[in-house]
Structure 1
């Protein structure tokens, strides 16, 4: 298809009148949009809750395990009386 043919085809499509929209379309769109928005809000809250739970679990693990403390050395024998 040549460029001029494509341009003529696009112009013809743009000059046509759009098809009529059904009158009951708006309430259906509003209903579906509300449902999508509620699902997105619930998913966002669930992700924040999961992030909070992971942060809390990390803080509890770090306070119990104390990974920043160097473990005691086990290679040196205990000192006994001389």
Structure 2
């Protein structure tokens, strides 16, 4: 008997055997846990969006104050009078 055949037989025995009892409130507990997961993901998504908006606003304010696209002022002295 091959290994695959033995595994198939073992699975058949498990499926044909007595099934475990399911708790009566299993569906209610699963729905409650699912609701908590959905609320947690929604909160994390909102927090991430808020952080992204804050970062974009901070970058915009910094860019408007510093103006990194402009050339820096010349720091060498002029050559007038030589």
Same fold (TM over 0.5): yes
> TM-score, normalised on structure 1?
0.81
Distance in 1 separating the partners of 2:64 and 2:16 = 70
TM-score, normalised relative to structure 2: 0.81
The question of 1:35 aligning with 2:36 is answered: yes
Q: For the residues of structure 2 that align with 1:12 and 1:69, how far apart are their CA atoms?
A: 77
Per-residue deviation, 1:65: 0.6
- Once the two structures are TM-superposed, the CA of residue 31 in structure 1 deviates from its matched residue by 1.4
The SS at the match of 1:53 is helix
Structure 1 segments unaligned to the other structure (5+ residues): none
Displacement, 1:15? Answer: 3.5
Gaps of 5+ in 2: none
Taking the aligned partners of 1:17 and 1:54, their CA distance within structure 2 comes to: 58
